[in-house]
Amino acid sequence: MKYFALLWALAASATMAETNNTTNCFKFKIDTPSNEALTMSEDTIVGCYHFLSPNKYLAFVQETEGASILSSALVTRLSPGITLKHFSKSDGETKLIQQEHKLVNPLPIPLDITTEVLGPASGIEMVTPPSSEAFRTSITELLEKYKAPADKIISIDDLKTKFTSRDDVSVEESYLPDEKMPSDGYWWPQRGAPLATGEDSPLAKYDAYVKSVSGKNPNSVEWELRRHAGDVYWTGHCNGWVSATILYGYEDVDLNDERNSNIITSSDIQGLRSATSYCTRNAFYGRRNYGRPWDDVNDIHPHSFHRLLKYYIDQLGKPMAYDYNNGPVVDNHIISGYRFTYEPTDTPNKFLVKAELRSHGYSVDELVHEKRVAPTYTREYWYYLWVSERGTPYKGEWVNENHHPDFMWVPLREARCGGENPRMHHEWVNYMLRKLPQI
């Protein structure tokens, strides 16, 4: 009954949208790349759809009442297909993207609410939409920004496979330029808690600085030692390093905190960014494998994997994060390039693909005190790929179901979750960088 009531409410509100601006909001369950998900409990997110007309709406993530809208897309339904605009941030630069397909969803929520999305087992709840004046102002301001011409237009043909020949072995490759290569960083393991252990640790310096400015000690050290000082050997802040290096890069400066007689080094800043970027709002692809009997060992599926690489690396010129193995252990690395080798099979439009990924890990044994490219290596996967007559991948099958990525993701911006140190905030790190003199 709850499912049918939800569909009825959606249908009613969509009808209202024909005569006035209507907002429908839903609470979705989402996966996360952070180690806190060892509890196997999914996070939730509120996604809203503000209709401008029956076939045009703003899809966005709603954080808190009155908060600015930071993750969104302007969607226009066409017959067939859709067109959407969204903003993409990388290395401190934001671009307006227009795409003329829905093969890749750049948001952490569904692009469209359909009966398939709202299935009986979805667990989706309808929630009250925001109604404040601040919300209405945010909508108006955001729609004004979407009127700007797109910096990049991506059509469905841009995601086609690029064959030299369908009857012979072909190679396709794309790599980010040197200036967009991900920066190295330490992974700040939870075992031993180097982020918070000792007066010279990054969080001790953070607490001292915030207290000297605000008069109140945030006690981030206390929380970190209580929550992020476990004994699991593989848990750490690798996902925070991934998000920080993609969103900010490596900030290669040392800061002089004279009030506290501290030098906040570039390594400290990298640690602080990894902590405050531990939870980001992400575009997440695939479903995380927790080792449960019902988890799909074939997910992420090869055709999605293939399209995502072409979309982000080749078209957006943006690195992607991924958990490179599909087991329950999570180890987040970064992809900055790929080389596809297509080998025809006896079945028309079916190819055996070798994907060689230019991948990057993090520093394990030492802190990073300078801007440098993250450790680089090549990781290889094999799969069968089916493509349409125009060359668009639509189906795939891993050669080895136990050797492929578990999930892929792209950080969109800072966010909050239960696993992140609540006594820290990225705006304080930004404030440090603005106010403290460089050495």
Q: Which of 243, 217, 246 is nearest to 424 (CA)?
A: 217
Output the pLDDT for position 5: 46
C-alpha angle with apex 347: 346 to 352, nearest 5 degrees?
Answer: 80
- Write out the two tokens for 349: 């439009």
- pLDDT of 152 higher than 60: yes
Q: How many residues does the chain have?
A: 439
- pLDDT of 36 higher than 70: no
Tell me if 361 sits within 8 A of 377, measured CB to CB: yes
pLDDT digit string, tens, across residues 300-353: 999 999 999 999 999 999 999 999 999 988 899 999 999 999 999 999 999 999
- Report which listed range, 58-72, 77-91, 326-340, is most confident: 326-340
pTM value?
0.89
Phi-psi region of 249 (alpha: psi -120 to 50; beta: other; left: phi over 0): left
Output the pLDDT for position 136: 86
- In this prediction, residue 135 has a pLDDT band, given cuts at 50, 70 and 90, of confident
- pLDDT of 117 higher than 70: no
- Write out the two tokens for 194: 């180097």
Output the pLDDT for position 8: 41
CA distances from 123 to 7, 112, 133, 272, 353 (A): 13, 16, 30, 35, 36
Output the pLDDT for position 374: 96
Q: Average model confidence (pLDDT) for the chain?
A: 88
- In this prediction, residue 373 has a pLDDT band, given cuts at 50, 70 and 90, of very high
- In this prediction, residue 134 has a pLDDT band, given cuts at 50, 70 and 90, of confident
pLDDT digit string, tens, across residues 220-275: 999 999 988 777 777 888 889 999 999 999 999 999 999 999 999 999 999 999 99
Taking the mean position of all CA atoms in its chain, how far away is CA 134? Answer: 27
- In this prediction, residue 426 has a pLDDT band, given cuts at 50, 70 and 90, of very high
Tell me if 421 sits within 8 A of 278, measured CB to CB: yes
Output the pLDDT for position 12: 45
Distance (Å, rounded) from C-alpha 199 to C-alpha 181?
33
> Can you state the angle between helices 238-247 and 266-276, rounded to 10 degrees?
110
- pLDDT of 108 higher than 80: yes
Helices (H) and strands (E) in the chain, counts: 8, 18
- pLDDT of 83 higher than 70: yes
- Write out the two tokens for 186: 């330490």
